[in-house]
């Protein structure tokens, strides 16, 4: 029975994360980019000004009873987006597809920036208030309210609920428990109890408590990893030009760059680069818009810019740091035998010693914990959508939270190869209904974005 499940899941997974779907994901980003007039490139300055440029002003931190602040929304979304894939997945992509995979990861992120911009914009445009007066939204709401396709929203919500227990829960707690058991010898069940307690305290408090934690956790874990990465790169600055050279060479001619090493082809580089980019920043999957919909904002496009910033921070900063450290170390080469987290840890350790290994381990723990918190909210909102017309929806949501907490403990103590594989498939399947909605609503996105920038231009001219 288990073998049959593995076989069926393998076939579905091969399609979900295969060339056709990856091209569809990137293709949707290209469509949105062209129709909207390349805003993630031509309006990058405005995007950064309205996101990073507002962090120390009042606008990014405005919140009321109906929602959370725009910054809290992006922190919650980044909490689930920046995960172990940024450390483990990037290293795996380089081993499987060669350094050229990094270039194609950047290309997928370039168009993924627009995809997430569009997702978040639509989430705010078509959101609504629940019975407690809170803003709720996401793909299921723009499918129902924007396309009048509630059935598509139901499919998305079911897949999101199921995925939240796998990729957003048990696999993350397992990563934390394994890392701490390996490095400091803490028994996995003890880690499981602590994780369950932390997650329980936070998620039982709802989105506002989750946001309060993630707005502090995300900058801390991001700063730690960025500092470690920059220090490592600076210590090996003489290798940086060579690292960029081999990334670009392997992107287009890996056989020549690698001296004819078998297994490294352009298609492998594209496949693993696209897959890692999409899996890391979640552009097109439809998860992050659920958090952004709760933001206290007066304009959908303004919040959409935070979505664009999300991809920039996740892929162009965090994933690029991991990529450069790994490529410069040379430990990704065939015959070394390192892969995944072990490769990333070894690459940092080569320059920083025990501090590097400890830093990556702490980063893994924080990234995984933040993913747990972010995905708990996604699953809860998906449940709320499925049962929103029922008077007992509150009890169902409470039951979901309890099961989520228990699953976090179970994940920490068990081997999860099959669960990880199924969760990976469900995560990818979420993208299908979301991409359908994004393509059908691309005209709406185009109008919203162009109208916003036209108004901004008019305001500048008036001043």
Q: What is the pLDDT of residues 212-267, one digit of tens each?
A: 777 777 777 778 888 999 999 999 999 999 999 999 988 887 765 565 555 567 77
Q: Is 285 domain-assigned?
A: yes
Burial zone of 395 (CB within 10 Å; 0-12 exposed, 13-18 middle, 19+ buried): exposed
Whole-angstrom Cα distance, residue 299 to residue 296?
9
Please say whether the dihedral angle defined by the alpha carbons of residues 314, 318, 323 and 326, taken in this order, is positive or negative.
Answer: negative
Phi, psi of 83 (to 5 degrees): -135, -160
Q: Is there a domain that residue 14 lies in?
A: yes
Tell me whether residue 454 is in a domain.
no
Q: What are phi and psi of 136, to 5 degrees?
A: -135, 145
Concatenate the DSSP letters of all residues of 328-358 into one string.
HHTTTSTTS---HHHHHHHHHHHHHTHHHHH
Residuewise pLDDT in 10s, the chain (463 residues): 667 877 887 788 777 777 778 778 889 999 999 999 999 999 999 899 888 887 766 655 565 555 567 777 777 777 766 766 777 778 888 888 888 889 999 998 999 999 999 999 999 999 998 877 888 999 999 999 999 999 999 999 999 998 888 777 887 888 788 778 877 788 888 988 999 998 888 888 776 777 777 777 777 777 888 899 999 999 999 999 999 999 998 888 776 556 555 556 777 788 778 877 777 788 888 988 998 898 888 889 999 999 999 899 889 998 999 999 999 988 888 777 777 777 888 889 888 888 888 888 887 788 788 888 888 889 999 999 999 877 787 888 889 999 999 988 988 887 656 666 777 787 778 889 999 999 999 999 999 999 999 888 887 777 6
CA within 13 Å, CB half, 89: 25
SS3 content of the chain, % helix, strand, coil (to 5): 80, 0, 20
Residue at 457 is within a domain: no
DSSP letters, 214-250, are: HHHHHHHHHHHHHHHHHHHHHHTGGGHHHHHHHHHHH
User: pTM (2 decimals)?
Assistant: 0.87
Element (H, E) at 143: none
Q: Which two tokens stand for residue 400?
A: 């979901």
Give, as one character, the DSSP assignment of residue 38.
S
Sign of the torsion formed by the C-alpha atoms of 259, 262, 267 and 270: negative
- Please give the backbone phi and psi of residue 414, each rounded to the nearest 5 degrees, phi first: -115, 160
CA distance 152 to 162: 16
Is residue 27 in some structural domain?
yes
Q: Is 179 exposed, middle or buried (0-12, 13-18, 19+ CB in 10 A)?
A: buried
Residue 92 and residue 279 in contact, taking contact as beta carbons nearer than 8 Å: no
Let me know if 175 is exposed, middle or buried by CB neighbors in 10 A (0-12, 13-18, 19+): buried
- Tell me the C-alpha distance between 233 and 13, whole Å: 35
- Residue 249 backbone dihedrals phi, psi, to 5 degrees: -65, -45
For residue 52, give the H/E element and its range.
Answer: none
Token look-up 């904002």 returns 297
Cβ neighbours, 10 Å, residue 394: 13
Segments in 317-441 forming alpha helices (H): 320-329, 340-352, 354-386, 393-413, 417-429, 431-440
Q: Which two tokens stand for residue 262?
A: 């078998």
Residue 141: the pLDDT is: 96
Q: How far apart are CA 245 and CA 250, in angstroms?
A: 8
What pairs with residue 136 in β-bridges?
A: 128
Cα atoms in the Cβ-side hemisphere of radius 13 Å centred on 335: 4
* pLDDT recorded at residue 343: 83
Cα distance between residue 21 and residue 104, in whole Å: 15
Return the residue matching tokens 């979640």: 282
Q: What is the CATH number of the domain that holds 114?
A: 1.10.4160
Say how many CA atoms lie within 13 Å of 229 toward its Cβ. 21
Please tell me the predicted confidence (pLDDT) of residue 259: 56
Q: Does the residue 450 lie in any domain?
A: no
Amino acid 119: pLDDT: 96
Cβ 40 vs Cβ 114: under 8 Å: yes
Radius of gyration of the chain from its Cα atoms, rounded to whole angstroms? 21
Range of the domain at 236: 2-444
Q: What is the phi/psi pair of residue 129, to 5°?
A: -100, 140
Residue 134: C-alpha distances to residues 67, 130, 161, 302, 315 (Å): 6, 6, 20, 19, 31
Q: Which of 424, 228, 204 is nearest to 318 (CA)?
A: 228
Quote the number of domains for the chain: 1
Residue 455 in any domain: the answer is no
For residue 142, the model assigns a pLDDT of 96
Distances (CA, A) of 322 to 217, 225, 270, 360, 443: 20, 9, 18, 10, 37
Is residue 456 in some structural domain? no
């Amino acid at each position: 029975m288990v073998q049959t499940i593995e076989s069926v899941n393998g076939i579905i997974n091969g399609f979900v994360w295969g060339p056709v779907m990856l091209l569809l994901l990137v293709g949707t980003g290209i469509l949105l980019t062209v129709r909207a007039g390349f805003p993630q490139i031509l309006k990058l300055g405005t995007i950064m000004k309205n996101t990073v440029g507002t962090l120390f002003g009042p606008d990014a931190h405005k919140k009321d009873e109906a929602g959370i602040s725009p910054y809290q929304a992006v922190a919650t979304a980044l909490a689930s987006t920046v995960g172990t894939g940024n450390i483990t997945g990037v290293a795996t992509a380089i081993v499987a597809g060669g350094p050229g995979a990094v270039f194609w990861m950047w290309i997928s992120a370039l168009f993924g920036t627009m995809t997430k911009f569009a997702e978040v914009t639509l989430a705010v445009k078509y959101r609504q208030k629940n019975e407690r007066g809170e803003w709720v939204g996401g793909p299921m709401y723009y499918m129902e309210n924007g396309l009048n396709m509630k059935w598509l929203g139901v499919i998305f919500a079911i897949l999101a609920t199921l995925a939240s227990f796998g990729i957003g829960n048990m696999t993350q707690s397992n990563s934390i428990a394994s890392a701490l058991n390996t490095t400091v010898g803490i028994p996995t069940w003890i880690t499981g109890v602590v994780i369950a307690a932390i997650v329980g305290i936070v998620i039982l408090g709802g989105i506002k408590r989750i946001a309060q934690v993630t707005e502090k956790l995300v900058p801390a874990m991001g700063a730690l990893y960025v500092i470690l990465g920059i220090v490592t790169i600076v210590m090996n600055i003489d290798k940086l030009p060579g690292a960029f050279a081999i990334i670009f060479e392997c992107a287009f001619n890996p056989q020549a760059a690698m001296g004819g090493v078998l297994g490294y082809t352009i298609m492998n580089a594209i496949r693993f680069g696209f897959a890692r980019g999409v899996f890391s920043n979640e552009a097109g999957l439809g998860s992050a818009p659920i958090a952004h919909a709760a933001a206290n904002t007066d304009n959908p496009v303004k919040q959409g810019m935070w979505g664009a910033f999300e991809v920039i921070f996740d892929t162009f900063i965090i994933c690029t740091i991991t990529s450069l450290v790994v490529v410069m170390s040379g430990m990704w080469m065939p015959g070394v035998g390192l892969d995944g987290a072990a490769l990333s840890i070894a690459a940092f350790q080569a320059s920083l010693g025990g501090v590097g290994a400890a830093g990556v381990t702490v980063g893994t723990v924080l990234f995984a914990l933040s993913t747990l918190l972010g995905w708990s909210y996604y699953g809860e909102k998906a449940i709320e959508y499925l049962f929103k017309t029922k008077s007992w929806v509150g009890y169902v949501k409470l039951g979901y939270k309890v099961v989520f907490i228990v699953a976090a403990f179970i994940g920490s103590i068990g081997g999860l190869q099959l669960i990880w594989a199924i969760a990976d498939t469900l995560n990818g399947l979420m993208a299908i209904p979301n991409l359908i909605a994004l393509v059908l609503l691309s005209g709406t996105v185009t109008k919203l974005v162009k109208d916003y920038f036209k108004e901004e231009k008019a305001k500048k001219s008036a001043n």
